[in-house]
Amino acid sequence: MSLETVSENRCFGGTQGVYTHQSGATGTPMTFGLFLPEAAQHGRVPVLWYLSGLTCTHENAMTKAAAQGWCAEAGIAIVFPDTSPRGDDVADDDAYDLGKGAGFYVNATRDPWKPHFRMWDYVVDELPDLIGDNFAIDRDAMGITGHSMGGHGALTIAMTHPDRYASVSAFAPIANPSQSDWGRKQLSAYLGEDEDTWRAHDSSILMTERGYPGEVLIDQGSDDQFLDLLKPETLAQAMMARRQPGQLRMQPGYDHSYFFVQSFMADHVMWHAERLL
């Protein structure tokens, strides 16, 4: 796959780049952001994957999450993928929470979504291979995190592929999508009405059935305006029932915004760095 450089900027002694490529998974051009710390000039570095939430592109977290400084200090790279395929021939919906910007990190099996909405394959397989072939990252030292829809993606991907991800965390994840309006709508559209096919994309169910072999870190704002849709209590109950090592922290007064993400980004980057380095 050919890779085109959109921009590269000096950042905290390293490089913040934006790149495009033609994706075999989605059948569309895709754009991603990648921050490489100065340490990448001397050898391969661990990499943290950051999956963004509804309506976002690669750019939102890249410019708002305040992650690069902490990643530079820790000596790890961070990747900001897009949240869905893009293009004039890509199916879309008038609602903000379905279609473009709302890929939900699944492989769609239903029309009109299935030709391009294969974000699971893109994030789990294609993009790591592409970045590993073109940049100084260590594919054997990967962690994954994300916010909201991206937190959902991070948790489900890590619990499905614990051999690939040595660390996992999440900010305000959609924790029980099979029982939420942020989930039932999208999973039925992308995967169909058979709710058994949804189970692989519900972190509360996966926590009950599989768990994660390491510790899990989750931060949730107590004043999050979407708490009823996110359902953190279901994931907390699943973690307790399984006796899953980790922390689910209810942060007083914080909402769902990137101000919340910024406030705890240092904790999450250092959490991953301790497990990846």
Task: For residue range 230-272, list pLDDT tens digits in order.
Answer: 999 999 999 999 999 999 999 999 999 999 999 999 999 999 9
Is this prediction's pTM over 0.85? yes
Q: Is 93 left (phi over 0), alpha (psi -120 to 50) or beta?
A: beta
What is the rounded CA–CA span in Å between residue 241 and residue 223? 26
Q: Please tell us whether the domain made up of 3-276 is placed in CATH 3.40.640.10.
A: no
SS3 content of the chain, % helix, strand, coil (to 5): 40, 25, 35
Neighbours of 194 (CB within 10 A): 10
pLDDT, tens only, 93-122: 999 999 999 999 999 999 999 999 999 999
Lowest mean pLDDT among 1-10, 30-39, 172-181: 1-10
Mean pLDDT of the chain: 98
**Residues tagged active-site:** 148, 224, 256
Hey, CA dihedral for 91, 190, 105, 257, is it positive or negative?
positive
Neighbours of 148 (CB within 10 A): 25
Nearest to 116 by CA among 8, 29, 203: 29
Q: Is the pLDDT of residue 1 over 80?
A: no
What is the rounded CA–CA span in Å between residue 31 and residue 135? 15
